[in-house]
């Protein structure tokens, strides 16, 4: 066998084991008995040790050195690019450190959940301090020069720096703040009334998942505290959550995760269990979940379709017309929780996290001072006080599992979604009529063919620019938000 054949077969096994590791993480969040956390941490650490050893196996470096990448086709070149990136990263991180991070973050997840339930940041602070120290150590091992935070960001958004994001977010922020201020001077939208059966919510969420193209022959929907998606190819699982007072939480969490899930399900099958058989980056991934959830799922046209199904499922819920329902779905108002935030304010929640986690990583902010720093920043940005830790710095799971550098990809995904939607409308002339009757195929087919099918064949920015026909910027997102909410609130 040639070096290329050896390498690709070896990588296929590594990719398969990585999928198994991801499924263990899915099980931990959905099915695992509460008392199994310690054992699961040991299992995750053991599997991470195997994966790390494979990723930095000396033979990988030898095979890469033997291969003339320029003589291979585009897809093979892309696989070699991603294998090399993973090899060079793994080679710099000691195996023992990788295992320790896996074990510590697995246990930290349960401790975060307990602290969140108790509204007790002090109980979680020592755990977070330990996780942060381990991730700093990893970042320092990876950093050849420059900002350690950039090495963390590279795990989720290759070839993007914190400085670039700071510039983009700096251009985004003033427009969001001004729009938010104008909206909050207006009368609030009508709200839903009553309690909504949680089983009925789940049934409707399954209908929505199917409507948006999620393939239940290769996936499933379960409940979790913090909705997420997991897996790729032939096994892509999503989760949602229910709240008897707020069915929108369930429906739009489902649509959001369906966006992630459909991206993975729609990648060209020939890339299955290869290094390019997954999303190009977390920012690109988030662009799919956000365009499904917001530009499509919260559009005036689709809200007419959803309103009809709400009437069938819940009868009278206090809203009598599709127009009032559309305004309720897109209501802008005060709130503490990022995942429940409206489109206008969502990115302000992300920018808060981006700044705080950069300060944590640099050492400018100590873990013991995080809760106070969060609350002060929140009051400065939103104008009201955080009531408890579960509505503040304990609301997200990310830091407990070491995902430093992940948060900014949420806003980057929104920016990408704005660019994609501008192009989608030009390519789908019947979009509104289709959405009005629950026909998502023209939109989701365009996204599949223009972006999703390619997986990680291209680098993230090129994935977006090729789909859109222009380089991504924050301008289309701002224009979309300004137009939509000026109409809703008569600005």
- Asked whether the predicted pLDDT for residue 428 surpasses 80, the reply is yes
Predicted pLDDT at 312 = 95
Q: What percent of the chain has pLDDT over 90?
A: 90
* pLDDT, mean of residues 270-281: 97
- Asked whether the predicted pLDDT for residue 146 surpasses 80, the reply is no
Q: Are 388 and 119 in contact (CB under 8 A)?
A: yes
Delimiting residues of CATH 1.10.1370.30 domain(s) in the chain: 162-489
Predicted pLDDT at 255 = 98
Tokens matching residue 30: 């959905």
Q: Are 12 and 270 in contact (CB under 8 A)?
A: no
**pLDDT confidence band for 37 (50 / 70 / 90):** confident
pLDDT tens for 76-107 read: 999 999 999 999 998 899 989 988 998 899 89
The H or E element that residue 140 is part of is helix 121-142
Distance CA 353, CA 156 (A): 16
Nearest by Cα to 484 from 298, 291, 297, 249? 298
**pLDDT confidence band for 1 (50 / 70 / 90):** confident
> Across all residues in the chain, what is the average pLDDT?
95
Catalytic residue among 48, 257, 293, 474: 257
**pLDDT confidence band for 269 (50 / 70 / 90):** very high
72 an active-site residue?
no
Q: Are 459 and 158 in contact (CB under 8 A)?
A: yes
The H or E element that residue 93 is part of is none
Predicted pLDDT at 340 = 86
Predicted pLDDT at 225 = 80
**pLDDT confidence band for 419 (50 / 70 / 90):** very high
Residues 6+ positions from 303 with CB-CB distance below 8 Å: 322, 325, 326, 329
Tokens matching residue 185: 């001077």
**pLDDT confidence band for 339 (50 / 70 / 90):** confident
- Asked whether the predicted pLDDT for residue 8 surpasses 80, the reply is yes
Tokens matching residue 254: 């489902």
**pLDDT confidence band for 48 (50 / 70 / 90):** confident
Domain 162-489 adopts which CATH fold?
A: 1.10.1370
* pLDDT, mean of residues 379-398: 94
pLDDT tens for 476-486 read: 999 999 999 99
Predicted pLDDT at 414 = 98
């Amino acid at each position: 066998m040639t070096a290329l054949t050896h390498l690709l077969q070896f990588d296929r096994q590594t990719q398969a084991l990585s999928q198994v590791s991801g499924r263990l993480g899915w099980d931990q969040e959905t099915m695992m008995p509460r008392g199994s956390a310690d054992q699961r941490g040991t299992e995750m650490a053991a599997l991470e040790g195997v994966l790390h050893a494979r990723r930095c196996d000396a033979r990988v470096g030898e095979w890469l050195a033997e291969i003339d990448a320029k003589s291979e086709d585009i897809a093979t070149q892309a696989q070699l690019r991603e294998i090399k990136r993973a090899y060079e990263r793994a080679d710099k991180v000691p195996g023992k450190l990788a295992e320790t991070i896996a074990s510590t973050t697995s246990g930290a997840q349960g401790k975060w959940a307990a602290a969140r339930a108790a509204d007790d940041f002090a109980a979680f602070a020592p755990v977070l301090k330990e996780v942060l120290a381990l991730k700093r150590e990893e970042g320092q091992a990876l950093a050849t020069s420059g900002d350690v935070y950039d090495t963390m960001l590279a795990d989720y958004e290759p070839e993007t720096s914190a400085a670039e994001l700071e510039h983009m977010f700096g251009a985004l922020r003033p427009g969001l703040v001004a729009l938010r201020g104008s909206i909050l001077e207006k009368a609030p939208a009508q709200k839903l009334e009553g309690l909504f059966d949680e089983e009925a919510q789940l049934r409707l969420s399954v209908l929505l998942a199917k409507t948006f193209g999620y393939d239940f022959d290769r996936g499933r929907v379960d409940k979790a505290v913090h909705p997420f998606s997991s897996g790729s190819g032939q096994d892509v699982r999503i989760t949602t959550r229910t709240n008897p007072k707020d069915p929108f939480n369930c429906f739009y969490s489902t649509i959001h995760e369906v966006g992630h899930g459909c991206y993975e399900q729609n990648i060209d099958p020939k890339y299955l269990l290869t290094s390019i058989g997954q999303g190009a980056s977390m920012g690109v991934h988030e662009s799919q979940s956000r365009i499904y959830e917001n530009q499509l799922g919260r559009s005036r046209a689709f809200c007419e379709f959803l309103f009809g199904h709400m009437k069938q499922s819940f009868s009278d819920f206090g809203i009598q017309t599709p127009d009032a329902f559309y305004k309720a779905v897109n209501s802008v108002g005060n709130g503490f929780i990022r995942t429940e935030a409206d489109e206008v304010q969502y990115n302000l929640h992300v920018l808060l996290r981006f700044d705080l986690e950069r300060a944590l990583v640099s050492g400018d902010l100590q873990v013991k001072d995080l809760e106070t720093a969060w609350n002060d920043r929140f009051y400065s940005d939103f104008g009201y006080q955080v009531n408890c830790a579960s509505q503040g710095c304990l609301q997200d799971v990310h830091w407990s599992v070491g995902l430093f550098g992940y948060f900014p990809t949420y806003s980057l995904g929104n920016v990408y979604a704005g660019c994609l939607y501008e192009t989608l409308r030009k390519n789908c002339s019947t979009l509104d009529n289709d959405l009005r009757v629950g026909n998502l195929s023209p939109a989701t087919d365009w996204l599949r063919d223009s972006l999703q099918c390619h997986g990680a064949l291209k680098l993230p920015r090129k994935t977006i620019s090729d789909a859109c026909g222009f380089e991504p910027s924050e301008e289309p997102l701002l224009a979309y938000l300004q137009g939509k909410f000026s109409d809703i609130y008569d600005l």
